[in-house]
Chains A and B, each alone.
Chain A
């Protein structure tokens, strides 16, 4: 390609004042795929999405879930999503911003959901993840505990678990831990 390189070097000297100019910003493949995911979102009524950095930053967004049944009925839970430039090769990073008493979500907001980690596949999408999160509230499970205490209570005493959830969502202590109101 040496001939082309020579031509190009010579062009470079001439091109100083050429119009048009080089591209300034390019979108990563991950951003484009995310654009597709977002423009095709089909969320349940109880979920809403927002873009804190405006319409042009889709890589960071928030999803609010208001469960319409189960232990968490009436609560409002906000998740932050961070999407990598190599999405969907990598799963989005999801954290729960609302402090919640939940067997599969710890007090720092880490979420134990298989499709966010070990079972992520590039064919999955943002819609799948949101449905997965939604599901955690209608069917919390004690088999994948991230909050050990909450999982044990759910397993051994569902009635007590229910009242603990209500207390946490209303704003109050469960054991030593204080939860802010999220209803």
Chain B
């Protein structure tokens, strides 16, 4: 009979990692054929983005033995993508990236199933994202990363000692490239810094003064931004500019060319126009390949435990020579997105006013003049007067009712912290748990599994 451990197998190289014990493996590594099969059966991976990096990621993950993949992307294929988004052909131009990418990888790698989602990431219910074991990001925007990060972190729960409950942890592997540079990082919410803990890593976007654009343009980017920010409104009035609308982009390009001619400026091209307007630095296929490879390996390591994971941020720089560096960033303990927040237990009868008073005496908070917000609903605002007035009537209502009778949930408060005779304004995350409600105990038990 053929023995799965000795028979020639498509996963021969992978087997060397998954079937044998080792010294550098993760803490609960359990090698064997069962592990290989479990990875196929139980690991569900979402790839966010089906662009240059996303194409590479889908291919790499499929070839790493994962069989349940899904991909989400809202873009359609453009001619200019074809130089690096190697899953696409000329006849695919105009079709959704997610659908074509899924189809092509399934054609090439037998046994893999990829479900495409042609939509915005915000269009999916939050619960959609909870269905995946690991989320892998191949994105080019801070907004999108920040969104996925906040969704993934929203599943995280902490026990009463402020330790994260591993079962609620949604690991993320984030890749990004800009020209010859790239990064790969592993985010284990509650254990390693989340995107928001280290948002300062992203340099702010360069913004030219509007008056420079209007009066003294000096380079091609100035001409493009003039057409995009000033001329568009002048001509189109209320119509919003849509960067994903090729007609709009062409219009801006043409105007930028006219502007450049007027001032004797060289270098306005259509691809530069796209780059400046969408704030994208041109991608290079090989950088995408390097970063994707790192991300796919980390995904395999997280899932299987076959090796310790990257801890926690890799930067790749091929601009001058080649440098790779791994930095271990630390979590922001008070992070509003991934942090535990301060645990507060309350009776269901406590009114919002009483709750605000309690915050002032709470030893870990000492927070006066609190404004309170819960899932996008502003329960009470100290200022400005117009909002204070609109929220004042909530003060006499039980917080339990105001929070939609959730037995436990997150609220955020802003106020003045009085610590060591110093007053500082601050924003805090609180984990409110209501006492004496059936079901809470059961839910906490889940962490022991």
- The 8 Å CB contact of B28, one of A3, A118, A145, is A3
A19 in the interface, Cβ–Cβ < 8 Å? yes
Instruction: Give the segment of B76-84, B107-115, B203-211, B354-362 that binds chain A.
Output: B203-211
Residues of A within 8 A of B39 (CB): 2
B177 to chain A, nearest CB (A): 20
Residues of A within 8 A of B371 (CB): 35, 39
Contact check, B154 vs A29: say whether CB atoms are below 8 A apart.
Answer: no
In the bound complex, residues from chain B placing their C-beta under 8 Å from that of A84 are 143
- In the complex, which residue of chain A has the Cβ closest to the Cβ of B166? A4
Tell yes or no: B441 within 8 A of A by CB: no
Contacts of A89 in B (CB 8 A): 142, 199, 202, 204
B7 in the interface (beta carbon within 8 A): no
Asked if B264 CB lies within 8 Å of chain A CBs, one says no
Tell whether A2 pairs with B303 under 8 Å between CB atoms, given A8-B133, A32-B373, A58-B378: yes
A117–B208 CB distance below 8 A: yes
User: C-beta contact mask, A40-70 vs B, less than 8 Å → 1, else 0?
Assistant: 1111000011110011101000000000000
Q: Is A74 engaged at the interface, CB distance under 8 Å to the other chain?
A: no
For this complex, 18 residue pairs linking A to B, each with C-beta atoms less than 8 Å apart, are A2-B38, A4-B166, A5-B38, A5-B303, A8-B167, A11-B167, A19-B439, A24-B375, A26-B376, A29-B336, A33-B427, A35-B427, A55-B387, A55-B390, A90-B205, A118-B209, A146-B211, A148-B215
Q: Which of A5, A58, A117 contacts B133 (CB 8 A)?
A: A5
- Is B446's CB within 8 Å of the partner chain A? yes
In the complex, whether A159 has a CB less than 8 A from a CB of chain B is no
Do residues A2 and B143 form an inter-chain contact, with CB atoms below 8 A? no
Q: State whether the Cβ of A38 lies closer than 8 Å to any Cβ in chain B.
A: yes
Most buried by B among A4, A104, A106, A122: A4
Bitwise interface map of A from 85 to 120 toward B, beta carbon under 8 Å scored 1, else 0: 110011100000000000010111111101001101
Determine whether A175 belongs to the interface, using a CB cutoff of 8 Å to chain B.
no
Instruction: Provide the residues of chain A in CB contact with B251, threshold 8 Å.
Output: none
Q: Does B377 contact A (CB under 8 A)?
A: yes
Distance between Cα atoms of A49 and B150 in the complex (Å): 29
User: In the complex the two chains form, is B146's CB within 8 Å of A26's CB?
Assistant: no
Q: Which of B112-134 contact A (CB under 8 A)?
A: 126-127, 130-131, 133
Q: Which residues of B contact A118 (CB under 8 A)?
A: 206-209
Q: Which listed segment binds A: B8-16, B226-234, B253-261, B318-326? A: B226-234
Residues of A within 8 A of B (CB-CB), count: 64
Q: Which residues of B contact A1 (CB under 8 A)?
A: 133, 166, 169, 171, 302-303, 305
Contacts of A11 in B (CB 8 A): 167, 446, 449
Q: In this complex, what residue of A is CB-closest to B337? A: A29
B204, A90: Cβ atoms under 8 Å? yes
Greatest chain B CB density within 10 A among A25, A29, A49, A51 is at A29
Contacts of B384 in A (CB 8 A): 38, 41, 43, 48-49
**B127 CB, nearest partner CB in chain A, Å:** 4
Is A27 an interface residue, CB under 8 A from the partner?
A: yes
Q: Which residues of A contact B151 (CB under 8 A)?
A: 26
B146 & A29 in contact (Cβ 8 Å cutoff): yes
Which residues of chain A are near B90, meaning CB under 8 Å? none
- Known A20-B439, A39-B382, A146-B214; judge A85-B147 contact (CB<8 A): yes
Bound-complex Cα distance A49 to B210 (A): 25
- Cα A104 to Cα B407 with chains together (Å): 53
| Chain B minimum-CB-distance residue to A147 | B214
**Which A134-152 residues have C-beta < 8 A from chain B?**
144-146, 148
Q: Tell me which residues across on chain B come within 8 A of A58, comparing CB atoms.
A: 378
Contacts of A48 in B (CB 8 A): 384, 386
Chain B hits for A7, CB < 8 A: 167, 449
Does the CB pair A25–B378 fall under 8 Å? no
Most chain A CB within a 10 A radius of its CB, from B42, B147, B215: B42
Q: Which residues of B contact A51 (CB under 8 A)?
A: 386-387
Residues of B within 8 A of A122 (CB): 200, 204
Q: Give the distance in Å from the alpha carbon of A102 to the alpha carbon of B44 in the complex.
A: 58
B292 to A: closest C-beta gap in Å: 21
CB interface residues, B 412-436, toward A, < 8 Å: 412, 414-415, 425, 427
Establish whether residues A25 and B376, one from each chain, have CB atoms under 8 Å apart when the complex forms: yes
Q: Is A28 an interface residue (CB 8 A)?
A: yes
**Apart from A26-B151, A40-B414, what 10 extra A-B contacts exist at CB < 8 Å?**
A2-B303, A27-B412, A33-B427, A35-B412, A35-B427, A38-B384, A48-B384, A49-B384, A55-B378, A118-B208
Alpha-carbon distance between A86 and B149 when the two chains are bound, in angstroms: 12
Chain A residues near B229 (CB, 8 Å)? 110
CA distance in complex: A56, B383 (Å):
14
